Structure 1
Amino acid sequence: MSSTHTITDQDLTHLRRCVDLAREALDDGDEPFGSVLVDSRGTVRFEDRNRISGGDSTRHPEFAIARWAAENLTPEERASATAYTSGEHCALCSAAHALVGLGPIVYASSTEQLTTWRTEWGVDPGPLTPLPIHAVAPGVPTRGPAAELTEEIRALQARSSGVA
């Protein structure tokens, strides 16, 4: 159930926070990914950034959101919440998102973009097949990417990959 709905000004506000968190992650030695969970009233309920440098490769912010939501929100609250993220969820995070019953995902950059960039730079694609969200969680509505943030995210990913 992929979507091509336009990114709204409210979406951009939350996506910009995700990019800030991604930059914070990169500055701390992690991969540049950040995410926030926003409830149906527009309140940020949880935010996190990538934290894999400690050796646990599952410490993605999107996975942390799913775990936090499962522990702290009712099924109804989860279904009406929106996850914002600097980069489209990987297969691990897409599955976690769907399994806990979270609502829409809005992403600043797509899996396709990241895959293209990494290929251009000659960077190893990693241990997971780069799949779009709808290939793993077809029932989750999505919006993205946000063209307004593409160059900034590309620059963070380039720095992370050692090409900038």
Structure 2
Amino acid sequence: MDSDVSTDDLRHLARCIALAAEALADGDEPFGSVLVGVEGTELFADRNRVKGGDATQHPELAIARWSAAHLTPEERATATVYTSGEHCPMCAAAHGWVGLGRIVYAASSAQLAGWLADWGVPPAPVAALPITDVAPGVRVTGPVPELAAQVRALHAARFGKA
């Protein structure tokens, strides 16, 4: 895992956290993600949309689908996915299958699993595996300690633990 986080990385992660807050305000799970091209331009952004009953409506999966439809393999390989929370195995697999580049996340799956356990919330139905256990060739940066507390606060609010 890479630990280099730039000012640009922090700016894009702040956008992800804002999208996660938007999701929470809409009654959804607080996750947000953005896809950024090699030149630093935001290409696509989304937030969790699972409240309707389709638990696969994760923003990271939407990014993978969008990039497969709109970017060349070279553009995908040089793009960066920023996300408030580490990809679940489904999203990590999609990322690997479409050939996206680097992933930068604010809080890890292990952190989220720990918070849920501390709050007495049942674990997710899918194992909290590190991205590189699912997509070993992906360059990963995270968690980002200075932002993880913000992500924790969003999840705490979701479960009334704030």
Is 1:8 matched with 2:15? no
Q: 1:1-150 to 2 correspondence within 5 Å?
A: 3-150=1-148
Aligned-residue RMSD, C-alpha: 0.8
Aligned counterparts of 1:8 and 1:149: Cα–Cα separation in 2:
13
Aligned counterparts of 1:157 and 1:41: Cα–Cα separation in 2:
32
Q: How many pairs does the alignment contain?
A: 162
Question: How far is the alpha carbon of 1:160 from its aligned partner?
Answer: 1.3
Q: TM-score, normalised by structure 2?
A: 0.98
Aligned counterparts of 2:34 and 2:126: Cα–Cα separation in 1:
23
Aligned counterparts of 2:156 and 2:3: Cα–Cα separation in 1:
28
Which runs of 5 or more residues in structure 2 are unaligned? none
Aligned counterparts of 1:160 and 1:63: Cα–Cα separation in 2:
22
Which runs of 5 or more residues in structure 1 are unaligned? none
Moved over 6 A (4+): none
Aligned to 1:155: 153
Q: TM-score, normalised by structure 1?
A: 0.97
SS at match of 1:162: coil
More off after superposition, 16-25 vs 122-131: 122-131
**Partner AA of 1:41 in structure 2:** E
Aligned counterparts of 1:55 and 1:115: Cα–Cα separation in 2:
21
SS at match of 2:76: helix
Asked whether the 8 Å contact 2:96–2:138 carries over to 1, the reply is yes
Aligned counterparts of 1:46 and 1:101: Cα–Cα separation in 2:
16
Aligned counterparts of 2:29 and 2:107: Cα–Cα separation in 1:
14
Aligned counterparts of 2:73 and 2:2: Cα–Cα separation in 1:
26
Asked whether the 8 Å contact 2:48–2:57 carries over to 1, the reply is yes
**Partner AA of 2:145 in structure 1:** A
Asked whether the 8 Å contact 2:13–2:83 carries over to 1, the reply is yes
Question: How far is the alpha carbon of 1:6 from its aligned partner?
Answer: 2.0
Q: Choose between structure 1 and 2 for higher RCO, CA contacts under 8 A separated by at least 6 residues.
A: 1
